[in-house]
Amino acid sequence: MKRLDPELRRLVAHLDVVRKQAKALGLFTNERELLECPGCGLMEDVTADGILITCREPDLGKDTGLRFAALNQHAFRCPACGRSVREPLPETGSEEAPPA
């Protein structure tokens, strides 16, 4: 077991506190991709203020007050229909231009 430098440990602890505060405020901390339930269409969105909400068509941008519950690091449970939802893969390599 390697011991962390006390200063580094202090910084890590502080970062953890800040992240918890941001979560408590409902701020989206960009730790994962936004979720969308394939069952009922409930989807996450982030407002201009950085608040994580869930909404559904046609009321996009209108918070339902529901929040996806984490089952583990990459799986969540839809609060509306109870379906388990996997975190979408980060969008990578989508820069390819279609043939002209």
Stated as kind and residue range, the H or E segment containing 70 is: strand 69-70
Residues 32-71 that bind Zn ion (CB under 5 A): 37, 39-40, 42
Per-residue mark of binding to Zn ion, 2-31 (x: CB under 5 A): ------------------------------
41 vs 50, beta carbon nearer Zn ion? 41
**Smallest distance from the beta carbon of 77 to Zn ion, in angstroms?**
9
Residues from 71 through 90 that contact Zn ion (CB under 5 A): 78, 80-81, 83
Handedness of CA 60, 90, 82, 79 (dihedral sign): negative
How far, in Å, CA of 57 to CA of 42, rounded? 8
Which helix (H) or strand (E) is 52 found in, with range? strand 52-55
d(CA 18, CA 10): 12
Size of the site for Zn ion (CB under 5 A): 8
Which residues of this protein are in contact with Zn ion, per CB under 5 A?
A: 37, 39-40, 42, 78, 80-81, 83
